[in-house]
A and B are shown apart, each in its own frame.
Chain A
Amino acid sequence: MNNALINDEPIPLLKRLNWQDWLYSIVLLAGAIFAFNRYSHHMDVYEQGFLFGAVATFSWLGWSWKAMRNLVLGVGVLSLFAIFVYDADLQRAEQAFFLKYLISSQSAIMWMNVLFILATVTYWVALFNRSQFTGKFASSLAWAAVLMGFVGLMVRWYESYLIAPDVGYIPVSNLYEVFILFCLITALLYLYYERRYATRQLGGFVMLIISAAVGFILWYIFDREAYTIQPLVPALQSYWMKIHVPANFIGYGAFSLAAMVGIAYLLSARGILASRLPSLDTMDDLMYKAIAVGFAFFTIATILGAMWAAEAWGGYWSWDPKETWALIVWLNYAAWLHLRLVKGMRGPILAWWAVVGLFVTTFAFIGVNMFLSGLHSYGEL
């Protein structure tokens, strides 16, 4: 916060940027221009908009959250390296050392899984030892996991095109891919708040839910071979999906984060780990912030979903089980925010509610796919 002030006067974002910020944005822009020159004839107007929109979005993200710059550049460099090593030959995944052990999508995602588990353990060690250093190390592990996860998704994107040009798609389309996305987004949200609130003590809790998702991914990989890239069914071939799904997962990720903080809150309120965890007020505030972000993005995602449904199914709202459960999740958190913002409620009730909310959210996320049938039957187990 202090570096945002000169003589006690706040300075606008643009004046705060240093040469690294500008270099970062120039690299992004150069990449976009390169891609545009080379591939613009394959893109429609939306995709061109997305390309340059991404430059703006990631510039802004990197400017306001410096660690993001390293992540974006790291993902870019590793992904380009993977593409270079692949040399347009899918067989290289088994032959080239770097691909086989490090950055083919399957390996990178495995690394992500391992790193998330390690991060979870390390965060808990840090919590019990009250060790600043271990905490920092845990954060680094989490960042590394996020890096590898994004590299895995990027390379998977490339690999899907190597299978056949008409098979290629952005990997946010099946349960396996969105679970990875869920881990990454939840971790990123957590890492953001970790810095904002200058506390690493909640890492262990948040990483638990990520580890659970990692467990699911592992089961999915080993039991169902979910990593095989299957081409998209016609209904999913839409640019709406590419924004609907990530927006939804910002929502799911934020709600999960809030629930895990809620658990920490409830434990702390009972005196368990109280001396090691942040103050109740801090956790309460974090919970609110997370749910607010989640709610905003979940709303957007649901609306985008409705617009997509209008285009694919002929109606913006069909009372399909997934839609209906999205509505229930939405109503649930709307009530939560109402109680807090309008009635001024605080404390354990809201924490409990956030925890219960996770179950509702989880049901909407996977339960619907498992138990109920409907139009959203792409993600069946």
Chain B
Amino acid sequence: MRFAVSLLTVLGIASIIGTVLKQNEPYTNYIIQFGQFWFEVFEVLGLYDVYHSVWFLLILLFLVISTSLCVYRNSPNMLREMRVWREHATEKSLRAFSHQHEYQANGTPDEIRAGLTRFLTARGFRFKTVQHENGDQLIAAKAGTYQRLGYIFTHTAIVVICVGGLIDGNVPFKVQELLGYKTVEVRDIAASEVPAESRLSTANLSFRGNMTLPEGTSADVAFMRMRDGYLVQELPFRVALKDFRIEHYATGQPKSFESDLVITDPDLAEPLEATISVNKPLIYKGIAIYQSDFQDGGSNLDFNLWGLFSNQVAPLSVRGTIHQEVTLGEGDTALTVEFDDFRKFNILNLTADGKGKPHNVGPNVTFKVRDTQGQAREYVTYMQPLKLDERFYFVSGMRPALQEEFKYLRIPVDENFEIEGFMRLRAAMMDSAAHAEIARRLTKSSLSADADNDDMKGKFESSVTQLLRAFAEGGYTRIAALIEDSVPEEQRDNAAQTYIKIISSAAFEAHNLARERADKSPAVADEETLIFLQDSLNSLSDIFFYGAPFYLELKEYEHREASGLQLTRSPGKNLVYSGSVLLVLGIFAMIYIRERRIWLLVKSDNRVLFAMSSNRKNRDLDLEFARYQEQLQRLLA
């Protein structure tokens, strides 16, 4: 018992560790979190998968054994206790009871006995009468003896549940692994190439594997993640995904995930078609197939690629497929774009205070841009402009490492709700050949026409050109550096204000120059245009932190989804369920059935000794005894 309790305590603590430390993460995450040394210590202790570690399973096994022994040792006693009447209690021992009372009864012995037995029967007591040699009669009664079954039921239940759980755990694999028959596969290779020592046959008793099926494909193996690798579980049939659907509520939140599956099996005359959804699995050949998650199954995407630091006006077309990559450029400057995920629906809450309602903001694509050194940045780009602070922007997030937060580049929409307006402006602002022209126009519009000082005009023009070049080289940061280098400290604030003003005005000229080149009518300097320019300048300054020399604008997509299925075979389930039923019965029996015994010793001189006991001394017993004592008083009077 004490041993069992300490095992339970260890189990409890281990369980807590398992909830605090995220289980079954990729091992690299743990290394980042703990550092190499502690990572290895924790790995040896099996803390990354506590509930399947050898020591955890051993403790469970010990518990099962010790509880079984407990049941085995105590049950016969319990059952005997249930059967006995304890009719051999002596008068002396009854008088020693804490709950006893003596009456002087009226009536014949038979009447008294009849009254007493009626009294007992009405209260649910069963009894046995014994005649003592001295003429006394002892009525030994009992009720609620099934309480003791509660003990047997609950403890048996725990054993049954644990055994069921162990059957469904991966004990057989653990054993085979320890004996060296099986190993975990850690290489990223096709399922068909995984060697036999990492494959589990269809005869495997219990498993819980996953399968990701793009629409229109099929598979006959499932994968089981294990520690830093996986195992391949062969299936006795082939599963094909015809269609995967997500339905949405009017608000945009997902309402259902459904997969149309086709099962082909030599044992089947014709393929079995079934639709599964969350909470509605399909069970075939003892293997349950669940809708577990979904991901992109290789959507085709068409992008406009805009060079950010060039004077290029027209975009290039780029076609990408999720889970595949595209290499842009050549040699040392080549960049590889790895398309990771496409989501058609994104429910976001974009209100500034976070109190508004989330809504669908349309598709986004997640990709990584990797240089030839292997360094990668991750990007997430939304297809449609998002409404932020009452204005619309094309939004793309960047993060240099997975554990960091995304930082967002927001590009304002033009009057047609497109990105072109910004990109035209960008082309002009990044075009060093255009800087002189912009400066000239700015000089013309800002210095009064009759200003005869050509020298001053020339100076102004050249400083505007210089500022534009600096801005094209590094945005506001570069301007700030410029000020720091060339302006005395006390004048810096003024200079900064002047420079920013000049750049804003220059941007307006650049905007119109770009519009001219695109055969568009010149813009008026109204508030709308000014805000657009302000936003554009901010974006132009931010692209220096964007990390990629291009912007991928998602134009078209051809959505292809993949359904994540979970396949389980758990023969222990029925054991666990029957154990559970037993457990509930046992608990109710233990708590709500009260075992009580009553002895009524009818002496030949009509004295009646009433004694009562229970295996649990509590308030209920006191109350019941007091009640019966009173009732007997009236009965026997």
Chain A residues near B (Cβ < 8 Å): 1, 8-10, 164, 166-167, 225, 228, 230-231, 233-235, 237-238, 281-282, 284-285, 288, 292, 295-296, 299-300, 303, 306-307, 310-317, 319, 321, 324-325, 327-328, 331, 335, 337, 341, 344, 368, 372-374
Contact = CB atoms under 8 A, between A and B. Distances in A.
B590 interface: yes
Given A231-B255, A300-B584, A335-B5, A237 B279 contact: yes
A310 B122 contact: no
B254 A233 contact: yes
A228 to B, nearest CB: 8
A230 B576 CA distance: 35
Interface stretch (B14-22, B185-193, B431-439, B597-605): B14-22
Contact of A234 (B16, B122, B256, B357): B256
Contacts, number: 123
28 contacts: A9-B122, A167-B250, A230-B251, A231-B253, A234-B256, A234-B257, A234-B277, A235-B279, A237-B256, A237-B279, A295-B591, A296-B588, A296-B592, A299-B584, A299-B587, A306-B576, A306-B580, A310-B573, A312-B278, A313-B566, A314-B292, A314-B568, A316-B576, A316-B577, A337-B590, A341-B616, A344-B616, A372-B19
Interface in B265-317: 277-281, 288, 290, 292
Interface residues of B, number: 61
A299 B588 CA distance: 10
Contacts of B591: 292, 295-296, 337
Contacts of B521: none
A264 to B, nearest CB: 16
B491 interface: no
A281 B22 contact: no
A209 to B, nearest CB: 23
Interface of B: 5, 8, 11-12, 15-16, 18-20, 22-23, 50-51, 119, 122-123, 165, 168, 208, 249-251, 253-257, 277-281, 288, 290, 292, 355, 357, 566-568, 570, 573, 576-577, 580, 583-584, 587-588, 590-592, 616-620, 627, 631, 634-635
A257 to B, nearest CB: 16
B5 A296 contact: no
A229 to B, nearest CB: 10
A360 B285 CA distance: 42
A8 B631 contact: yes
A166 B249 CA distance: 8
A231 B252 CA distance: 10
Given A234-B277, A295-B591, A321 B19 contact: yes
A314 B576 contact: no
Given A8-B635, A164-B249, A372-B20, A225 B355 contact: yes
B15 A327 contact: yes
Nearest to A308: B279
Contacts of A316: 570, 573, 576-577
Given A9-B122, A238-B279, 6 more contacts: A234-B256, A296-B592, A300-B584, A306-B576, A310-B570, A335-B8
A282 B619 contact: yes
A1 B623 CA distance: 11
